[in-house]
Amino acid sequence: MSESDDPVQGLVRSVLKEIGEDPGRDGLQRTPLRVAKALRFLTEGYEQDPVAILNNALFDVSYDEMVLVKDIDFYSLCEHHMLPFFGRAHVAYIPNGKVVGLSKLPRLTQMLARRLQVQERLTTQIADTIEEVLSPRGVAVVVEAIHLCMMMRGVEQQNAFAITSSMRGAFQVDPKTRSEFMELIRHTKQSFA
């Protein structure tokens, strides 16, 4: 589909008219194109398969300690107001004979975030996918996010943020494993230089 054929542009023009704007005025003439391109980018996760992202980088190993990638930045749109929410995800698993390339955990997180989402579902979808593909001994996901729908409208809370978690297997049943994960995600990154 070419840019000029994108039906989202016509819809954006209609929205601009409905809110009392003139889509033909100088500053708004290219806005429908820009918004359509932005929405396509911010929702490109619908065109990707989360399982395929992990399956392309699976490796057999005998490693059985925690694998953690923390401070994974993401941006998403809430499905209720289509306003941004963004933050960090911390993703860990305990292998059961297989590991996945470390870069695949941020790729998975970003792909799932590029759909209309709620933070709770994003958190469980990350855990579900890792569990499905790797069958690990445990999975832990913690997501921290700021929601513009809470800041800009509604309750207008400028300093509130949300934390969600999904603990599976060893992270759910073993307090020591869960505690180790929680302690590790509290640590701030030190310079490696």
Any catalytic annotation for residue 81?
yes
Any catalytic annotation for residue 9?
no
Active-site choice (9, 110, 119, 125): 119
What is the helix (H) or strand (E) element at residue 164, kind and residue range? strand 162-169
Any catalytic annotation for residue 190?
no
Give me the helix-helix angle, 7-18 and 31-42, nearest 10°.
120
Q: Is residue 122 within 8 Å of 50, Cβ to Cβ?
A: no
Any catalytic annotation for residue 29?
no
> What is the spatial distance between Cα 7 and Cα 38, in angstroms, rounded to a whole number?
14
> What is the spatial distance between Cα 95 and Cα 60, in angstroms, rounded to a whole number?
10
Active-site choice (3, 44, 80, 120): 80
Active-site choice (21, 131, 149, 180): 149
> What is the spatial distance between Cα 135 and Cα 94, in angstroms, rounded to a whole number?
9
Any catalytic annotation for residue 80?
yes
Active-site choice (3, 44, 79, 132): 79
Active-site choice (9, 90, 117, 147): 147
Active-site choice (21, 48, 81, 144): 81
Active-site choice (9, 78, 90, 110): 78
Token reading at 49: 């398969």
Any catalytic annotation for residue 44?
no
Any catalytic annotation for residue 147?
yes
> What is the spatial distance between Cα 145 and Cα 35, in angstroms, rounded to a whole number?
23
The residues carrying an active-site annotation are 78-81, 119, 147, 149
